[in-house]
A and B are shown apart, each in its own frame.
Chain A
Amino acid sequence: MTSSLTPVEDIIKSRVSSAFSPTSLEIFNDSHLHSHHKAMQGSTSKETHFRVMITSEAFKGKPQPARHRMVYALLQDEMSRDGGIHALQLRTRTPEEEQKQLERERGA
């Protein structure tokens, strides 16, 4: 049985998927961009900085901070453990908002 080389990313993917049934989910591992930073000295993890873009109806009617908190809650243990997630950039949109934004970009 092979074990994953990206356990943290897998956790993010599976938890976000089951919690939000997203219509769109993208996870980017930006850890390599920050590995030389002082805060990362002594860290052996290759999964410390992530950018996660989620589109889901579950965010409807909620202000941005509330949406981010929903995601933080899902990943709380991964964020608080030593060597876990150090930074998490989030984009949390509803399908409607994603659509509007695409139209705006096309029109611009």
Chain B
Amino acid sequence: MSTVTEVTTIDAFNQHRSSLPASTLLVLNFHTPWAAPCAQMATVLATLASSFPATSPPTVSFLSINAEELPDISEDFDVTAVPFLVLLRDGNVLETVSGSDASKVRDAIERHAGAGADGAGKTQLPPLQQVTPRAAAEPAPTTNGATKDLSGYAPTANDPATAPAMTDPAQSSKEELFARLTELVKAAPVMLFMKGSPSAPQCGFSRQLVGLLRENSVRYGFFNILADDDVRQGLKEFADWPTFPQLWVGGELVGGLDIVKEEFANDPDFLKDYSVKASA
């Protein structure tokens, strides 16, 4: 499964670009470490990346670039606000996404990732979900006064409503956490919230569930709840489910290890829609 690579020098960036075939979709994530929405985008992107099998050469390559440390690259791509996503193929900018709306990001990437040169063996993607932004009005961005002035990045009336954008983390209300979780459970058609990661599970039940999904060639995204206590505690309440791992399909909770085991045993078509078709 693919991961997001942090690029720290202009040379490394150019080298990476030239090493990729022209058909590879290059996803550039411009971020800064101090902006909260960037942390959210990083999570969404890592989750998305994990659902793409790592092929050689890669069909999709995810790069993360610190916009402040590499201003030249940021200028090349006209980056004026973060987080900012640029989708490139063969040197052409296909699309850009501003802000950290998970559905928009996923939509853009999957639309272009599917158009790769190699049509054979491509996974069938489930139909895109219609996502309606939360009805709750976005609070007027407050200038934080304390350290940095983020008002330049404040969402305008034209931007879609995103999850906790400008508020001080200490003020993040439960409503905002739940809005974030609503996006997170839809970050991939099949989402696994587990302890650890598929390559390094930190719990026996999580490990078993990963194995089960692998045996059935299911393509899924994952989130390590040990890395984020807000999500860990929040999701228990959001899902009305006290334990992990949790498997979500199409934004709905299916259950934990025991339920998934039974589903596979009783239903031969369980998650068939999400399997990675074997490519020669």
**Which residues from chain A sit less than 8 Å from chain B, CB to CB?**
34, 37-39, 64-65, 68-69, 72, 76, 79-80, 87-91
Contacts and interface: CB of A to CB of B under 8 A. Distances in A.
A65 B254 contact: yes
Interface string B240-280: 11110000000001111111001100000000000000000
A76 B202 contact: no
Contacts of A90: 258
Given A69-B241, A79-B242, A88-B243, 20 more contacts: A38-B202, A39-B203, A64-B255, A64-B259, A64-B262, A65-B241, A65-B253, A65-B254, A65-B259, A68-B255, A68-B256, A68-B258, A69-B240, A72-B241, A80-B242, A87-B243, A89-B257, A89-B258, A90-B258, A91-B258
Interface of B is mostly: mixed
Contacts of B240: 69
B204 interface: yes
B153 interface: no
B77 interface: no
Contacts of B204: 34, 37
Nearest to B226: A39
6 contacts: A39-B203, A64-B259, A65-B241, A65-B255, A69-B241, A89-B205
A40 to B, nearest CB: 11
B254 A76 contact: no
